[in-house]
Amino acid sequence: MEEFFQQLTNGLAVGGIYALIALGYTMVYGVLKLINFAHGDLFTYGAYLGLTLLTSLALTDRLGFAAGVLVLALMVMGLVAVLGALLERAAYRPLRQSPRLSAVVSALGASIFLQNTLMLIYGARFQVYPDNILPAATLNIFGLYLPLMRVLIVLASVLMMVALYLFIQKTKIGTAIRAAAIDQDAARLMGIDVNRVIMLVFLVGPALGGIAGLMVGLYYGQINFTMGWVYGMKAFTAAILGGIGNIPGAMVGGLLLGVIEALGAAYISLAWKDAIAFCVLILILIVRPTGLLGERVADKV
Amino acid sequence: MKQKLWVLAAALGLGIAAAAGAADTVKIGLMAPMTGSWASEGQGMKKIVELLAEQQNAKGGVLGKQIEVVTEDDGGDPRTASLAAQRLTTKGVAAVVGTYGSSVTEASQAIYDEAGIPQIANGSTAIRLTEKGLKHFFRTAPRDDEQGRMAAQTIDKLGFKKVAILHDSTSYAKGLADEANALMKKKGRDIVFFDALTPGERDYTTILTKLKGANPDVVLFTGYFPEAGLLLRQKKDMNWKVPFIGGDATNNADLVKIAGKEAADGYYFLSPPQPQDLDTADAKNFLADYQKKHNELPPSIWAVLAGDGFRAIVAGIAGAKSADGGQISGYLHKDLKNFSGLSGPISFDAKGDREGEVYRVYKVDGDGKFVLQKL
């Protein structure tokens, strides 16, 4: 039983990261009906920018751990958000009126471009975060070993997801985003600047992806220019699982995927971990083609 | 460049001399990757073999003649290697040292064997190379399956009873895991866990939790260094103190960077010895000479094993009292026993594989240094 709860917390920690990245996929899909395949690479940029800023500015030395990491997180979110907006401007806006397939190809191209740029700048070897930054405390609760950082990561993810949910549901700008997601033309007729809404979506989504990258870098320590592929793939799956286009769905889907992976690996087979996760996805889609919380069906792509 | 021209001129001169029928040197071929991605290995091989030849010539050469090393570049590429092998066979070499990569060696094996020229490979560990029944092929490198044997033996010597084995489904890592698993089962070790992780991920706590549930005395991980580093780091975060043993794919300085010094402390891995850890008197003297001449240590153990190939050939020519390929091979197979090589005693079995152990056990210390263990 102890092992079961340990695996559950392992799954939640991984799932929290999936969920944060999944939010970026689902927000863009909700408004543009586009799968932003470059989103996983924006996540990688978060990890690399975090490393560069951390080592070059020595933030945690100057400001202490908590304030240093907080400032670092804000800087990474800001920079990756700008990168996301540039991506939208360069790769997607010119194709707004084109067939949807063109935008998907453009997304794949952007992904390859971003990934290889990173490799050319930082090199193909693994990069490593300095290992003395985070407090290495491990909590022991009823025999469960919970490294303090994992708890903080899950809490931070949940906090950001809740903040995003409130932003979308309760503010005027959030209402505009939801309106644009339902019908862009009608939203435009109601006086909403749809281009600005899309720009905003490309600021918020990548910012969340970037912070996920920073958390992965800080906690796991080792980063590499291809890591966005695996995480992007999983987060995309999580978004589908929860119902793509639906924000609470992405959160539930991410956490659920993490837990399914952990428990599948623990009680069925390690080597078949990914296969088990995808089988569950297929089963859920057979029963609920729109995903767990989804309302709209992805009819193309 | 000047030196190269000089060598070229000398080679041309010698070619003419040889054509005139005056074979007053014994030629030993060296096939090495002088260009391409393994060029640093090839250059180390050349420096070592040439220095050994120089020293042997100062002692009077072999069979009363001076030794001449003829080098051909295989570019680390099988196609270039077959051309290099054809060139060497027409140059009248008594035997050939080399080469590094298994696939490159494989492309040249048949050519030398057909010409009856003994070949001693130095870096090629693929099992199949010596399973073809070639009469003139030898290697100073260990075989891939020797590592499995060494893993089982090390776990035995360290006195661990319950063993968990983790691989990453690549052919190298799974092969090593299967080999070690079979050997340990035969010896009655309790294998409490055998499974694979997915390489390229970041979070391995699920696997570690499951491993911990199996309660092993030791974990044998046969994969590569990025995953090994993460496993060590996350194991430490779990406050789990079980020792880990890895294969030679974890012999990489980045391992300590990824895991952090504290988590890497106490990690064991198997690897052929690093040149500076060779402990025979011959090796120490030779490495001192090498350092004096080139102001650096050889790039890796594989270059040193090329030197051992060269020394075995010289011993073979001296022992057979002939520079004839068939006689040298016969001597190497049957009569060369426990010859003192730089990397330890050398004997060849009927297949041409090296007998005895080449793998050593290393342990990471508190400063992240790799320290050779005496077991």
Specify the pLDDT at position B19. Answer: 44
Q: B374 in a domain, yes or no?
A: no
**pLDDT tens-place string over residues A160-200:** 999 999 999 999 999 999 999 888 889 999 999 999 999 99
Would you state the pLDDT for residue B3?
59
- Looking at the partner chain, which of A10, A128, A220 has a beta carbon nearest the beta carbon of B206? A10
A2-287 adopts what CATH topology?
Answer: ABC transporter involved in vitamin B12 uptake, BtuC (1.10.3470)
Q: Which residues of A touch B (CB under 8 A)?
A: 3, 6-7, 10-11, 13-14, 125-126, 128, 131, 136, 138, 140, 145, 147, 149, 216, 220-222, 224, 226-227, 230-231, 261-262, 265-266, 269-271, 273-274
What pLDDT, on a 0 to 100 scale, did the predictor assign at position A271?
Answer: 84
Which of A126, A147, A271 has the CB atom closest to B254's CB atom?
A126
The arithmetic mean of pLDDT across residues A199-211, rounded, is 94
Which residue reads 């992240």 in tokens? Answer: B368
Residue scoring higher pLDDT (A125 or A230): A230
Closest-CA residue to B120 (of B25, B28, B39): B28
Which ranges of A171-267 would DSSP assign to H, the alpha helix?
172-182, 184-189, 194-220, 227-242, 247-267
**In-domain check, residue B357:** no
Looking at the structure, do residues B135 and B179 belong to the same domain, yes or no?
no
Instruction: Show the tokens assigned to A197.
Output: 């809404």
* Number of separate domains in chain B: 2
- Return phi, psi of residue A130, to 5°: -55, 140
Do residue B23 and residue B137 come from a single domain? yes
> Nearest residue of B to residue A12 by CA position?
B206
| A contacts of B233 (beta carbons < 8 Å) | 131, 220-221
* Single-letter amino acid, residue B84: A
Q: Which one of A234, A270, A272, A273 would you mutate to disrupt binding with B, by most B Cβ within 10 Å of its Cβ?
A: A270
Q: What is the mean pLDDT of residues A50-61?
A: 86
Contact present, A228 and A43 (Cβ < 8 Å): yes
CB–CB of B201 and A147 under 8 A?
A: no
Q: Do B149 and B135 fall into the same domain?
A: no
Q: Are A240 and A281 in contact (CB under 8 A)?
A: yes
What ranges do the domains of chain A cover?
2-287
Reading chain B (375 residues) residue by residue, the pLDDT tens digits are 555 555 555 555 544 444 444 468 999 999 999 988 788 889 999 999 999 999 999 999 999 999 999 999 998 889 999 999 999 999 999 999 988 888 899 999 999 999 999 999 998 888 889 999 999 999 999 888 888 999 999 999 999 999 999 998 877 788 889 989 999 999 888 999 999 998 888 899 999 999 999 999 999 999 888 899 999 999 988 889 999 999 988 887 788 888 988 899 999 999 888 888 888 888 999 999 999 999 988 888 889 999 999 999 999 999 999 999 999 999 999 999 999 889 888 999 999 999 877 888 999 999 988 999 887
Q: Is residue B95 part of a domain?
A: yes
Using a CB-CB cut-off of 8 Å, the residues of chain A touching B241 are: none
Mutate to test the interface with A, among B166, B174, B195, B209 (most CBs of A within 10 A): B209
Residues B293 and B248 in one domain: no
Residue B200 structural domain: 145-271
- Given a contact cutoff of 8 angstroms between Cβ atoms, the answer to whether B346 and B339 are in contact is yes
Q: Is residue B92 part of a domain?
A: yes
Query: CATH no. for residue B262?
Result: 3.40.50.2300
How far is it, in rounded angstroms, from Cα A94 to Cα A107?
12
Does residue A204 register a pLDDT over 60?
yes
Domain endpoint, select from B271, B292, B325 = B271
Task: For residue A85, give the DSSP letter.
Answer: H
B30 and B116 share one domain: yes
The one-letter amino acid at B274:
Q
Residue where one domain finishes, among candidates B271, B286, B319: B271
Share of chain A above pLDDT 90, in %: 51
Alpha-carbon distance A26 to B137, whole Å? 61
Assess if residue B310 is contained within a domain: yes
pLDDT tens digit sequence for A134-144: 777 777 777 77
Please give the biggest Cα pair distance in chain A: 59
Share the mean pLDDT of chain A.
88
- Tokens found for residue B258: 């990824």
Closest-CA residue of B relative to A234 is B201
Q: What is the largest CA-CA distance in chain B?
A: 77
DSSP codes, B116-162: T--EEESS---GGGGSS--SSEEESSPPHHHHHHHHHHHHHHHT--E
A157 or A58, greater pLDDT: A157
Instruction: Let me know whether B9 and B111 are in one domain.
Output: yes
Residue of B nearest to A267 (CA): B210
Best B222, B237, B255, B256 member to test A by mutation, with max A CBs in 10 Å, is B237
Partner-chain contact A270 B195, CB within 8 Å: yes
> Residue A139: left (phi > 0), alpha (psi -120 to 50), or beta?
beta
pLDDT digits (tens, 9 = 90+) for B114-160: 999 999 999 888 888 999 999 999 999 988 888 899 999 999 999 99
The count of other CB atoms within 10 Å of the CB of residue B162 is: 15
The verdict on residue B252 lying in a domain is yes
Single-letter amino acid, residue B209: T
Average of per-residue pLDDT across A135-161: 82
Residue A78, pLDDT score = 96
All residues of chain B having their beta carbon less than 8 Å from the beta carbon of residue A274 are 198
The reply to whether B159 and B251 lie within a common domain is yes
Give the model's pLDDT for residue A245: 84
Average pLDDT on A79-97 reads 93
How many whole angstroms separate alpha carbon A162 and alpha carbon B77? 57
pLDDT digits (tens, 9 = 90+) for A5-39: 889 988 999 999 999 999 999 999 988 888 899 99
Measure the CA–CA gap between B314 and B300, rounded to whole angstroms. Answer: 22
B244 shares a domain with B155: yes
Decide if pLDDT at A107 tops 90.
yes
Does B246 share its domain with B130? no
Strand segments, DSSP code E, in chain A are 127-128, 138-141, 144-147, 222-223
B94 and B110 fall within a common domain: yes
The residues facing B67 across adjacent strands are B26
User: What are the contacts of B157-160 at 24+ separation with CB within 8 A?
Assistant: B157/B375, B158/B218, B158/B243, B158/B268, B158/B375, B160/B189, B160/B216, B160/B217, B160/B218, B160/B243
Cα–chain center distance at B323: 26
Q: Which among A10, A125, A128 is the nearest to B205, CB-wise?
A: A10
> What pLDDT is recorded for position A300?
40
Whether residue B206 and residue A227 make contact (CB cut-off 8 A), yes or no, is no
- The nearest CA of chain A is from the CA of B197 a distance in Å of 6
pLDDT for the residue B204:
93
Same domain, B177 and B287: no
Are B70 and B171 contained in the same domain? no
Instruction: Give A-chain residues touching B169 at CB under 8 angstroms.
Output: 271
Domain assignment present for residue B164? The answer is yes
**C-alpha distance from A189 to closest chain B C-alpha (Å):** 47
Task: Tell whether B113 is covered by a domain.
Answer: yes
